[in-house]
Amino acid sequence: MKISILDDYFDTLRTLDCFRKLAGHDVTIWNDHLQDVDALAERLCDTEALVLIRERTQIRTSLLERLPDLRLISQRSVYPHIDIDACTRLGIIVSSSQHADTPSYAAAELTWGLVLAAMRAIPQQMAALKAGHWQIGVGHTLRGKTLGIYGYGRIGAVVAGYGKAFGMNVLVWAREPALAKARADGYATATSKAEFFEQCDVMSLHMRLVDATRGIVTASDLARMKPTALLVNTSRAPLIEPNALVNALRAGRPGMAAVDVFEKEPLRDVNDPLLTMDNVVATPHIGYVSRDEYEIQFTDIFDQIVAYARGQLANVVNPDVLGSTALRKMPTPKAAR
């Protein structure tokens, strides 16, 4: 099969052990980022299987309709960047493992790194030191403070464990089934959303971005936070109402933020408020960007392609396409060759 891989910024994938799974296929890897439809259509004109790295490139109808040979999109995790209805209409299978039983330790570790960096102003202290200044302020320790986990799923549970190890009081807010799981794991749960935001010294978001969670953190929620509190978001920027975080930081509640995700990615605007505010620590969506995490993720992604090449299917997220007359021709099963 002719396989194209987009947005491998540092040409990492061909160095992974799991890349050998694609041996025998015609693989092209692109290391730059494009969103221009004309340029992408030309680049992918004869692609049969398309590999995506998370949500780096938007795959919409205007592009899909210009890719006549595309049969499979293979990726991992959620897919708000893919027009699933258009894929189904055009006969393109979308395979995406949801890794329900494998937390992203890379994302959890980055979350904790951001907590420490923001509470102790590590980036600001480093910048000052390089500029010839010796200490620029007094930071905050974590022990004895309240760590709020908003969304107690795979990653949230891991981060809660880090908080416990640091001597923090962990408080959870989530849907009732997740609250029950948190209580079973020995953590306290808030009695209301308002109480949760009022009590947290550090509050970390750990939810998938779906219609029900978009804008789930409101301006009024943020206004309840302590002026000394830190909000951490390594999940998705649209979990917070548009502009609410910047306005809240300017108003002083919460007093700090640490973010790995943005409304528009990749973020190129050096004047974006989240990059210019002294009370913000920001990283360029690197929560999942580690060699170990890549090995896990792309094992799944490449396995989906290998299965498809054998005439089998794995982790199909648009099953309606399978019974459609529009379904593009699949490979002949290996056993029948």
Task: Supply the residues annotated as catalytic.
Answer: 236, 265, 285
Q: Determine how β-strand 230-233 pairs with β-strand 93-97.
A: unpaired
Cβ atoms of 152 and 181 within 8 Å: the answer is: yes
Cβ atoms of 259 and 274 within 8 Å: the answer is: yes
For residue 155, the surrounding DSSP H or E stretch is: helix 154-165
* Alpha carbon distance 142, 158 (integer Å): 17
Cβ atoms of 171 and 147 within 8 Å: the answer is: yes
**Distance in angstroms between the alpha carbons of the first and the last residue of the chain:** 15
Tokens, residue 309: 């090449």
Tokens, residue 181: 């799981």
* Alpha carbon distance 99, 108 (integer Å): 15
